[in-house]
Structure 1
């Protein structure tokens, strides 16, 4: 939990006492490879911090699956629409590896504003960082070539290329597995 507290302290720029309160609201959870954290159509009941492992966020379409993202160690995972607005999830979140999580329920999350006086500011910062990340992903998808998207992902998340099925990475980058394979062969990393 100490690594998690350090992460929270840096991520939120939060006081030691507030950090302790926030961290104590999360509980340990394990998910085995292949198990689902969340299934499409289910309400979003939890937000988790990945201590170890990888989870794939994807949407099922007729005849195919579209990978939105692969969440890894030291990142948060949920379906934000399902969690924050309690809508049925549009996404599936499945463990690609055995994973250790720290999880907070929707109800516990809602009670944080009563426990932490500066929670509204921390929550704005958290949601803002999530928005900036997604905005950057969308911009990259519409403005970078397939080769540039490949190279960027490789430079930022090199470990994925040895641990995640390549068709998931291709989907996440908005390209076919064939295009991904062709680019991979051309790269001299």
Structure 2
């Protein structure tokens, strides 16, 4: 079982022929550092599993400020669900922060899975529910946690990000200024 199959199994809890069929639709893809997976106004036509590397999802607000929504890393999926599922134009950028190796499923193959894998609708529903739950948790943390608690949550969730991602992106993702992040890091490390 390769890493894609292992991740599909752990995420969607499928095995056997269904697993092999789902995995067979994903194709290897390399995205170079700095290249865009998606830009605003474009429709996302793919869903990718990151084998390695980091991708940043961000918006530019009305004041020209970049607001990082998320940093995806090894073992995570990257897409714009509104585009992938509803054909809506994206509002965000998705950019490779490092060279990235992915397994990518295009929209045509994604839609073909419902004919190939009998329980695909159940699997898709589970995938979307997990995405929604994770987003709910992030929104709750931004609204209810202090800046220090948000830092601790992200550090506990993925400490390697703090060595691999520019701190201004992490600060933005946590809803704080880079200066606030620096003060929190200094306070916690002393």
1:134 aligns with 2:174: no
After superposition, residues 160-171 of structure 1 pair within 5 angstroms as 160-171=161-172
After superposition, residues 104-119 of structure 1 pair within 5 angstroms as 104-119=105-120
Q: Is the 8 A contact 1:59 1:65 kept in 2?
A: yes
- How far apart are the structure 2 equivalents of 1:63 and 1:92? 14
1:173 aligns with 2:174: yes
1:120 counterpart residue number: 121
2:17 counterpart residue number: 17
Task: Please report how far the alpha carbon of residue 49 of structure 1 lies from its aligned counterpart in structure 2 after TM superposition.
Answer: 0.3
Deviations 1:116-172 (A, max 9, x none): 001011111111111100000000000000000001101111000011000000000
RMSD (Å), alpha carbons? 1.0
2:55 counterpart residue number: 55
Q: Is the 8 A contact 1:9 1:16 kept in 2?
A: no
Stretches of structure 1 that go unaligned for 5 or more consecutive residues are: none
Task: Please report how far the alpha carbon of residue 99 of structure 1 lies from its aligned counterpart in structure 2 after TM superposition.
Answer: 0.3
Query: How many pairs align?
Result: 189
1:90 aligns with 2:67: no
2:26 counterpart residue number: 26
Stretches of structure 2 that go unaligned for 5 or more consecutive residues are: none
Question: What TM-score results when the alignment is normalised by the length of structure 2?
Answer: 0.97
Task: Please report how far the alpha carbon of residue 63 of structure 1 lies from its aligned counterpart in structure 2 after TM superposition.
Answer: 2.3
- How far apart are the structure 2 equivalents of 1:78 and 1:174? 22
